[in-house]
């Protein structure tokens, strides 16, 4: 893996999240990987940002609020079953590192690890967060289809501090 600056990075943003999925790692003392497929990449306050959406019902939600840093990890397709485990099981109940045989790797700019098996990993610091407001949804149907449990996502804006990419 080589480390690159965010402005040297090229990606297909819609493909990389929606189709390939990612593992969001949060928590410094007891880090936990969680599968995500909603998010975006852009610019805020003139800084490169990765934006993620996490429901309050997730164990990851508590970890992010306690320690506002995360890594966003993209793995080769052969790890799809590990992503399925991390997207269906909670870190409250199991040790997902043990269950998937993935390994945490020390980050360079933050105290949350990235995943050693990643082909691409972003180190991020949370700059701010907002909670999605159902009163502002453009279609009411979103409320019933996506939020029958009223667990509205919290949106975390992460400054991308460093990127690791396979050569």
Residue 81 structure tokens: 């079953």
- Site membership for ligand FMN, residue 32 (CB under 6 A): yes
Question: Which x/- pattern over 33-62 shows residues binding ligand FMN (rule: CB under 6 A)?
Answer: -xxxxx--------------xxx--xxx--
Please tell me the distance from the alpha carbon of residue 167 to that of residue 119, in angstroms, as a whole number.
9
Burial 116-142 (b: 16+ CB within 10 A, else e): ebbbbbbbbbbeebeebeeeeeeeeee
The piece of 8-16, 83-91, 142-150, 158-166 that touches ligand FMN (CB under 6 A) is 83-91
Among 51, 101, 60, smallest CA distance to 78 is for 101
Question: Which listed range, 41-49, 90-98, 101-109, 126-134, lies at the site for ligand FMN (CB under 6 A)?
Answer: 90-98
* Residue from 90, 105, 137, 147 in contact with ligand FMN (CB under 6 A): 90
The residue ranges that bind ligand FMN (CB under 6 A) are 21, 32, 34-38, 53-55, 58-60, 87-92
């Amino acid at each position: 893996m080589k480390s690159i600056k965010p402005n040297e990075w090229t990606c297909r943003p819609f493909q990389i999240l929606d189709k390939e999925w990612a593992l969001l790692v949060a928590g410094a003392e007891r880090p936990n990987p969680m599968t995500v497929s909603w998010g975006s990449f852009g610019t805020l306050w003139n800084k490169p940002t990765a934006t993620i959406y996490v429901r309050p019902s997730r164990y990851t939600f508590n970890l992010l609020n306690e320690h506002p840093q995360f890594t966003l990890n993209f793995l080769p397709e052969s790890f799809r079953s590990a992503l399925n485990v991390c997207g269906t099981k909670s870190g409250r109940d199991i040790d997902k590192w043990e269950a998937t045989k993935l390994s945490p790797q020390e980050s360079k700019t933050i105290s949350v690890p990235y995943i050693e098996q990643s082909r691409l990993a972003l180190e991020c610091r949370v700059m701010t967060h907002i909670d999605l407001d159902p009163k502002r949804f453009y279609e009411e149907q979103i409320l019933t289809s996506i939020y029958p449990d009223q667990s509205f996502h919290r949106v975390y804006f992460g400054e991308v501090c460093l990127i690791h990419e396979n050569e």
